[in-house]
Amino acid sequence: MNNGLDAPYPTLTRLTQLSFRLSRAIMCLAVLPAIACLAASVAMAQGPAPVTNLQSADHPWDGGDNADLTWEVSADDATLVESYFIYKAMMQKGPIPADLLTESERKYALVDVVPAGTTEYTVGSVPGSGYVRLKDLSDEQRALFDPNDLPDKPHKKITVELGYLFKIVAVGSDGSQSVETITAAPYSPTRQWFDAKRMYLLIITIIFGGSVVFFIQHARAGKDLKIRKIGGLAAVDEAVGRATEMGRSCMFIPGILDMNDIQTIAGMTVLSRVAKTAAEYDAKVEVPTCRSLVMTSARETVQAAYLSAGRPDAYNADFIYYVTDEQFGYVAYLQGNMVREKPAACFYMGAFYAESLILAETGNSIGAIQIAGTAMPAQLPFFVAACDYTLIGEEFFAASAYLSGEPEQLGSLKGQDVGKIIVGIGIIVGVTIATLAAWFVDTGFLTTWSEYIKGVILT
Amino acid sequence: MKRTIPLLITAIGGFVLVFAYFSPYTEDWGEKTMIWFDVIAAIAFVLGGGNLLKIHLKKTSDQAEGWGYSVITLLAFGITLLVGLLKIGVNPSPQFPHFAWSGEYRENGSPFWWLYEFAFKPLTATMFSMLAFYIASAAFRAFRAKNLEAILLLGTAFIILLGRTFAGVWLTDWMPEALSGLKIDNLTVYIMKVFVTTGNRAIMIGIALGIASMSLKVLLGVDRSYLGSGQE
């Protein structure tokens, strides 16, 4: 190639060309990394590649409020991605599609942030069914329902299937975000027949229940079972006897909860004994109740006790009566009654709340002998401070077995001891695992079990 | 028969609730069982109300001692029942504009609201406030230094009571950081967190086992004392 410069200065021209090429090569060398950097920064600005193949599936063995998500990691998982943000949104309510739901209902909420490399996650709190009220539905929404499914009254509930969409966003270390990946269609978790999270409790229940039944059968077979003396229960006869001597009545208060509370039932078993002793001594037992069903049960119990004492004629249903369901109304009545009638013995057996101390102190001020039994831990100190005898927690539940003296009932107490052994072993094993897991942090096995105990069993 | 049917109902109801706890699919069964109980309790309320009326009407007619209180009880019962049943509102509701009192019966100014605000709440608050005096008298009796255990209890109670007040914080505020564990407010937290929690948990475990055992006895029909004699 001759450009007219070569002819007079051939050597110089060649040198010039060489230097030109050299400088162009150097420029290329300098520009290429810059272009690469620019390309990379553009890529960074766009964010990492999104996750792919995001699927939602039912979480096995649960209450129908969890969904399992699986996905394939972003193509930039190893380089740019720092974490994945997981979101959920309700997108279907029975026949109501997403576009007819309110803005707040279908808004995506952040569920969790998981580190790069994660390919699965279980989303909680996504119940597969819920309800809507007729009055809350718009005309457009109402038209989507089968008219036969609609209730006759506006405040009534309609059970509907709830569907959810999930989305994942890959987030880079600089905060850049990938394009959203959303599940294909709304998903609704289903309830299973068994909740695997409660498996450990089922095993304990079977062992504990089995041991109680075993020892009941054992006792029925005629084996001798001993029970330690419970001061509060031994004092029941003494208290009724004292009331008889003084010519005053006994007052029995079965707590303020209804018959569906186990403490009230336990109270009834003590009432049975108190009434029987009173029937034998010809003392008066007054039972003011806070619930109508408790009144009915107490009447049956006292009547049976008088019958078994051989004094059915002495039974008077009017001594067992209903006062009010209101906690402090009931307390006001009892206080007034105590101060006016001055019963010689007061029994507080059942579930109590703030009224425990008011009652026990009033009883104390009138000089009554007082025996209390409850399984409300917060009220126990008050009863201990103000009563002569207190049945603490399990003693209260052991009362029926103790008072009846029936071998099969005593057998249940032996079964309870097996429960205590299980609890003791559980505490020792749990504490050991947690301690070792704290010492040897890197041990996967111990850490997993420690997390399981804390996250599942203790929650 | 009088005992067999209630025992069957108890056993079926109880086991359904236990089963429903472990089986999410049957949660509805458990809820329905509880609704049945509510229905029975609501019916039983008629028994209770009837019993209340019977006792106080008898007392009033006999003019027994304190019969004036029975009159007040009957009046209060009747008025509250009437106000509750009639659902008397303040303004007409949009659905029934021609009925002056058809509005929401719990809104401000309604008779129900009035009874609640000016009768029920003050009376309840009065009863509850009495608790403060009873706590003082019970504490005075419980914290007498009669023996070693009582002295320990008194000392612990003193620290906790003091630690919950400004005086407690102020008294030991001068302590150096190295001895901060001995500051009364920190001692209080420590006692509550370690000793009280430990004792409470021991009691709670006993209670839980007692409840499980007692429930099993009731469900299996081993303990029937709450059912009465069974005689027709």
Q: Phi-psi bin for A87: left (phi > 0), alpha (psi -120 to 50), beta?
A: beta
Please give the pLDDT value at position A101: 87
Contact (Cβ atoms closer than 8 angstroms) between residue A349 and residue A372: yes
Contacts of A331 in chain B (CB under 8 A): 127
| B31 is a domain residue | yes
Q: How far, in Å, are A33, A237, A354, A373, A395 from residue A381 at the CA level?
A: 78, 24, 12, 12, 15
In which band, very low, low, confident or very high, does the pLDDT at A3 lie, cut at 50, 70 and 90? very low
> CB distance from A210 to chain B under 8 Å?
no
Q: How far is B78 from chain A (nearest CA, A)?
A: 13
Contact B218 A265 (CB under 8 A): yes
Contacts of B81 in chain A (CB under 8 A): none
A-proximal residues of B, 131-160, CB under 8 Å: 131, 134-135, 137-139, 141-142
Contacts of A288 in chain B (CB under 8 A): none
Contact A269 B230 (CB under 8 A): no
| B232 is a domain residue | no
Q: How far, in Å, are A155, A255, A330 from residue B225 at the CA level?
A: 42, 17, 25
Interface-testing mutation among A193, A292, A427, with chain B (most B C-beta atoms within 10 A): A292
Contact B24 A63 (CB under 8 A): yes
In which band, very low, low, confident or very high, does the pLDDT at A332 lie, cut at 50, 70 and 90? very high
Contact B213 A307 (CB under 8 A): no
Q: Is the pLDDT of residue A250 over 90?
A: yes
Contact (Cβ atoms closer than 8 angstroms) between residue B217 and residue B209: no
- Regarding whether B79 and B5 lie in a shared domain, the answer is yes
Please give the pLDDT value at position A98: 86
How far apart are the C-alpha atoms of A306 and A317, rounded to whole Å? Answer: 11
| B138 is a domain residue | no
| B135 is a domain residue | no
Q: Which pTM value belongs to this model?
A: 0.80
Q: Is the pLDDT of residue A32 over 90?
A: no
- Regarding whether B218 and B169 lie in a shared domain, the answer is yes
pLDDT digits (tens, 9 = 90+) for A263-284: 999 999 899 999 999 999 999 9
A-proximal residues of B, 111-130, CB under 8 Å: 120, 123-124, 127-128, 130
| B53 is a domain residue | yes
- In the 8-state DSSP scheme, what is residue A15? H
- Regarding whether B28 and B7 lie in a shared domain, the answer is yes
* B116: containing domain: 89-130
Contact (Cβ atoms closer than 8 angstroms) between residue A142 and residue A112: no
| B54 is a domain residue | yes
pLDDT digits (tens, 9 = 90+) for B134-152: 999 998 888 888 899 889 9
Q: Is the pLDDT of residue A27 over 80?
A: no
Please give the pLDDT value at position A1: 40
- Regarding whether B211 and B180 lie in a shared domain, the answer is yes
- Regarding whether B3 and B62 lie in a shared domain, the answer is yes
In this prediction, what percent of chain A has a pLDDT beyond 70? 90
Q: How far is A375 from chain B (nearest CA, A)?
A: 6
Closest residue of B to A292, CA-based?
Answer: B48
Global ipTM: 0.89
> CB distance from B220 to chain A under 8 Å?
yes
Q: Is the pLDDT of residue A8 over 60?
A: no
- Regarding whether B161 and B114 lie in a shared domain, the answer is no
**Cβ partners under 8 Å of residue A356, min gap 6:** A348, A372, A374, A376, A379, A382, A383
| CA B203 to centroid of chain Cα atoms | 20
How far apart are the C-alpha atoms of B118 and B129, rounded to whole Å? Answer: 17
Residue at token pair 């394009």? A179
pLDDT digits (tens, 9 = 90+) for A391-400: 998 899 988 7
Contacts of B34 in chain A (CB under 8 A): 260
Count how many Cα atoms sit within 13 Å of the Cα of residue A118 in the half-sphere of its side chain.
Answer: 20
Please give the pLDDT value at position A17: 64
Q: Is the pLDDT of residue A56 over 90?
A: yes
| B119 is a domain residue | yes
Structural domain count of chain B: 3
Please give the pLDDT value at position A221: 86
Q: Is the pLDDT of residue A28 over 70?
A: no
Average pLDDT of every residue of chain A: 87
A-proximal residues of B, 33-72, CB under 8 Å: 34, 37, 40-41, 44-49, 51-52, 55, 66
Contacts of A357 in chain B (CB under 8 A): 131, 134-135, 138
B-proximal residues of A, 180-209, CB under 8 Å: 191-195, 198, 201-202, 205, 208-209
How far apart are the C-alpha atoms of A449 and A437, rounded to whole Å? Answer: 9
In degrees, rounded to 5, the angle at the alpha carbon of residue A63 between the alpha carbons of residues A58 and A64 is 35
Contacts of A394 in chain B (CB under 8 A): 206-207, 209-210
Contacts of B44 in chain A (CB under 8 A): 291-293, 296
Residue at token pair 């003050």? B122
Fold match between A52-194 and A231-405?
no
Contact A209 B44 (CB under 8 A): no
**Identity (one letter) of the amino acid at B204?**
M
Residue where one domain finishes, among candidates B77, B104, B130: B130
Please give the pLDDT value at position A254: 97
Average pLDDT over residues B220-232: 71
Contact (Cβ atoms closer than 8 angstroms) between residue B46 and residue A322: no
The continuous run of DSSP H or E covering A382 comes out as helix A380-386
B-proximal residues of A, 333-362, CB under 8 Å: 340, 354, 357-358, 360-361
Q: Is the pLDDT of residue A14 over 80?
A: no
CATH number for the domain whose boundaries are A52-194: 2.60.40.10
Contact A394 B218 (CB under 8 A): no
Nearest Cβ partner for A328 among B128, B135, B225: B128
Interface-testing mutation among A126, A212, A276, A318, with chain B (most B C-beta atoms within 10 A): A212
> CB distance from B198 to chain A under 8 Å?
no
User: Phi then psi for A451, rounded to 5 degrees?
Assistant: -65, -40
Could you state, in order of their start, the residue ranges of all structural domains in chain A? 52-194, 198-222+409-457, 231-405
Cβ neighbour number for residue B66 with a 10 Å cutoff: 9
Q: Is the pLDDT of residue A291 over 80?
A: yes
Contact (Cβ atoms closer than 8 angstroms) between residue A200 and residue A458: no
Q: How far is B140 from chain A (nearest CA, A)?
A: 10
- Regarding whether B24 and B37 lie in a shared domain, the answer is yes
**CA-atom Rg of chain B in angstroms:** 28
Q: Given CATH 3.10.450, say whether it is the number of domain A231-405.
A: no
- Regarding whether B60 and B43 lie in a shared domain, the answer is yes
Q: Which segment of A52-61, A127-136, A449-458, B193-202 scores lowest on mean pLDDT?
A: A449-458
Contact A332 B127 (CB under 8 A): yes
Contact (Cβ atoms closer than 8 angstroms) between residue A153 and residue A134: yes
| B162 is a domain residue | yes
- Regarding whether B65 and B102 lie in a shared domain, the answer is no
Q: Which segment of A234-248, A330-344, B21-35 scores lowest on mean pLDDT?
A: B21-35
